[in-house]
Copies of this chain bind each other. A is one copy, B any other.
Amino acid sequence: MNTNYQQILDEIYAETRPMLGQGRVADYIPALAKVNPRQYGIAIHTLSGEAFQVGDARVPFSIQSISKVFVLAMVFGRIGETLWTRVGREPSGNAFNSLVQLETENGIPRNPFINAGALVCTDHLVSQTSDPLLNILSFVRMLSNNPKVGFNEEVAESERQTGFRNAALINLMKSFGNIENDVDEVLKVYFHQCALMLDCHDLARAFLFLANRGINPWNGEQILTTSQAKRVNALMQVCGLYDDSGEFAFTVGLPGKSGVGGGIVAVIPNLLSICVWSPALNSHGTSLVGMKALELFTTKTGISIF
């Protein structure tokens, strides 16, 4: 296994930069549509305490669905296995199915990484905390060791103004009794968590506890039990990339989570976490260059679970 990470990052960056220009930036909200599509960065944090980076690794971006992992961790750590009475742990189909599935499966979403399932996690958080937005900020600032991490209010507001499908999902779940709180309050938190701004460096660092059996490597705090961390990784493996989950398992072969902001975070248990960001997406909503970069990373390091 090749662990000369800086050299590997430099090689990947050089090899993939010509791909910039391919793909399309998410354009369903103006705040995302105006992002420069040619930005590109990668960062690594290892359990041995090293950090590596290349390109725009310190430029904050909208992490979008990657935030689902943070909220899942916050809620799962608090309430444990009872979480699974209200959300499943199995892969799902596409967006279309989520409405049909909710209908036929009594408002229980398939997993915490489809929007419906993430909304259930956020609803749990709203039930458990008096200031859920502050709680999310504290959690992510602690994990990333960056007290300046914040929400992009413009993005949050844009999400709110266009998030009618999410409103449909949460109201349908509420009609089945699977949402405890006011739907607008839960949606407000949800749209804010999607609008968290982190850079590759901080985001990779914030995921390192998942490579470390649930323990924050910098302060030893147990965020999740070993079993819980393993569960989150397993879920990312089978359904972290929506309709690219099978493709990601094949080409990259690591537990990972993507967001339509163009970020992808992946975890190599007991070794490292890696974050890549480039805003232009493939047809499944995954960062086009990001996916290629991670494929090259597992190839060049010789890491492959298959």
Interface residues of A (CB under 8 A from B): 88-93, 96-97, 99-101, 103-104, 110-111, 164-165, 167-169, 171-172, 174-175, 183, 229-231, 233-235, 237-239, 243-247, 249-250, 253, 255, 269, 304-306
13 sampled A-B residue pairs with Cβ under 8 A: A88-B246, A90-B244, A90-B247, A91-B245, A93-B101, A111-B246, A164-B175, A165-B171, A167-B171, A235-B249, A238-B238, A238-B249, A239-B246
* Residue pair B175, A168 in contact (C-beta under 8 Å): yes
Q: Which residues of B contact A255 (CB under 8 A)?
A: 306
Q: Which of B100, B231, B238, B250 lies in contact with A99, CB distance below 8 A?
A: B100
* Residue pair A90, B243 in contact (C-beta under 8 Å): yes
Q: Which residues of B contact A174 (CB under 8 A)?
A: 164, 167
Check A101/B92 contact, CB under 8 A, given A237-B249, A246-B234.
no
A289 CB to closest chain B CB (Å) equals 21
Q: Which of B91, B93, B100, B243 lies in contact with A246, CB distance below 8 A?
A: B91
**C-alpha gap A239/B171 in the complex (Å):** 26
Q: Which residues of B contact A168 (CB under 8 A)?
A: 167-169, 171-172, 175
Determine chain A's interface SS by DSSP, over half rule: helix
* Residue pair A269, B306 in contact (C-beta under 8 Å): yes
* Residue pair A99, B234 in contact (C-beta under 8 Å): no
List the 8 shortest-distance A-B pairs measured between CB atoms, nearest first: A91-B91, A234-B250, A164-B175, A167-B171, A168-B171, A168-B172, A164-B174, A234-B249
* Residue pair B234, A269 in contact (C-beta under 8 Å): no
Q: Which residues of B contact A91 (CB under 8 A)?
A: 91-93, 238-239, 245-246
A4 CB to closest chain B CB (Å) equals 22
Q: Which residues of B contact A96 (CB under 8 A)?
A: 103-104
* Residue pair A172, B183 in contact (C-beta under 8 Å): no
Q: Which residues of B contact A247 (CB under 8 A)?
A: 89-90
* Residue pair A110, B90 in contact (C-beta under 8 Å): no
User: What 17 additional pairs, Cβ within 8 angstroms, besides A90-B246, A91-B238, A167-B183?
Assistant: A89-B247, A90-B244, A91-B92, A93-B110, A96-B104, A99-B103, A111-B246, A164-B175, A165-B171, A167-B168, A230-B306, A231-B250, A234-B253, A238-B238, A238-B239, A269-B304, A269-B306
The residue on B at minimum CB distance from A91 is B91
Q: Which residues of B contact A171 (CB under 8 A)?
A: 164-165, 167-168, 171
**C-alpha gap A195/B239 in the complex (Å):** 31
Q: Which residues of B contact A234 (CB under 8 A)?
A: 246, 249-250, 253, 306
**C-alpha gap A59/B306 in the complex (Å):** 29
* Residue pair A237, B239 in contact (C-beta under 8 Å): no
The residue on B at minimum CB distance from A111 is B246
The residue on B at minimum CB distance from A165 is B175
